Structure 1
Amino acid sequence: PFVSINCGAIPRELLESELFGYEPGSFTGASNKGRMGKFELADGGSIFLDEIGEMPMDMQVKLLRVIQDRKLTRIGGNHVFDLDVRVIAATDKDLFEQCKNGRFREDLYYRINVLHVNLPPLRERKEDITELIHYFINKLNIKMNKDIMDISQAAMAKIMSYSWPGNIRELENTVERAVNLCGGAIIGEEDIFIENLREERCIDSTDAEGRHKNTDIISESEIEPLEDVEKRAIERALNISGGNITITANLLKVTRNTIYNKMKKYNLSGE
């Protein structure tokens, strides 16, 4: 089996029971049947500890003991389980630096750092973007019953001009929004809505002291006001949804209240 858990998404008071399980009635609110933890579920296979850099220090001690001894005792229990689990961990933090700052246990760091794989940010491997986009389009075509065939060169150029600070998650969300907005078989430049792109270009065009740099990348006349981009995106989403506010909000990945406020701001109408 392959079992994954996001260490940063679970409250610290629940993390131990999620990882190691518990016996019936071992704490207030515990199930009277008890529960297996993620390590037990992964026995004989692999467990993926995502965002391990977010794990509290007291949990790091318990995790180290389980990994080191390959044995597990549920919360409130006495029985010791033997474990055969491969541990895979991921983080966007510099764990070595975290160790020096006292925020991550050095002994745990060296215990899990057996085979280190460094995944560069998306901005440093833009050659992967085209393949990722086509993967997401195929995946979303199935999920949304769409028939998007490709993406235009202008849309791809717009995507390639951005640094993607949110990495693959941000790219996937952008492609999903574009698939929703696209009214034909080819995703166009107007379907690519990147909220931080205009701000990023403005930052890139100034030096460290805020002076405007000479650049041929983009001229002032080519810069489209952010409000115009936002208004057009909302208009297209309203058109696709037939004016339905809930669907429009889902397409643009914002709340209904945000759509209502923006419609009032731009004097747009809907259902």
Structure 2
Amino acid sequence: MEQQTEQRAEVARFCDNWKVPQEPTPIGRHHGLLTEFRRAFREGPPETPLAMEGPRLVGEALRSGVQLEKVLFSRRGLEQQGAKLLPQLSKHTEVAVAEDAVFAGAMDAEHPQGVAALAAWAAAKLEAVFGERALIVAAAGLQDPGNLGTLIRAADAFGASGVVALADTVSPFNAKAVRASAGSLFHLPVAARVTAEDLIAACRSRGVRLVATGARGGVAPAEAGLEGPVCLMIGQEAAGVPRALLRAADATVSIPIASRVESLNAAMAGAILLFEAGRVRGH
């Protein structure tokens, strides 16, 4: 009790010194909020809120208008990031601070960066990914969340209208995918758990060409017709795009690479094709 009183006094002095409007509540290692963070990092939406960790992600979420429900600082994180982040939080956000070791025990990162947040989150509807001029990335069978998150980042960087994670793909809201997206998840619509049949039907009804990637035997990117409405279907490196999607594809595109290299990973292949699509579209 005495230690907690000292913590409260220290936090109050910090907030007073930096003129921040919201005073974080000190919590101990058995507090229920830590359990919420552990579960959210382990499971993710739709079962739990979206979990994010690190000042870059939390800051990008705030800049993007994401409503943060709960924010947790480590003691060191509060000292380093509190003056910048606390004034940006809504008065409705629950804010807490824990000792560094207690904070680290609730995170999924090996070296947590002192601040984490939970946000209410829902996947985008499939129709939202088409935008005004469809350039869609469909991830088919990707199992590495870091790979998927990097692909989302590339889609954001090169002007994609949205991303679709098909039903056999790891969740784009997995904590590692969120981290790898570096905030791009907050910038463009990302639909999840979409069936191949629904994607094909939605593209057909809107006149969007389906272009599958293949390691060998496809047309060159410059000849793939990427200037029009298109959905780029990216498969995992080992298995490639599933057969059902290959049969539905209007074209297959292959990136020329040295013969000694078997293939590119999904994020790298996606980034190259998105760059080419952006180039021919004048992005």
Q: Where is the helix percentage greater, Structure 1 or Structure 2?
A: 1
TM-score, length basis structure 1: 0.26
Q: Which structure's CA Rg is the greater one? A: 1
TM-score, length basis structure 2: 0.25
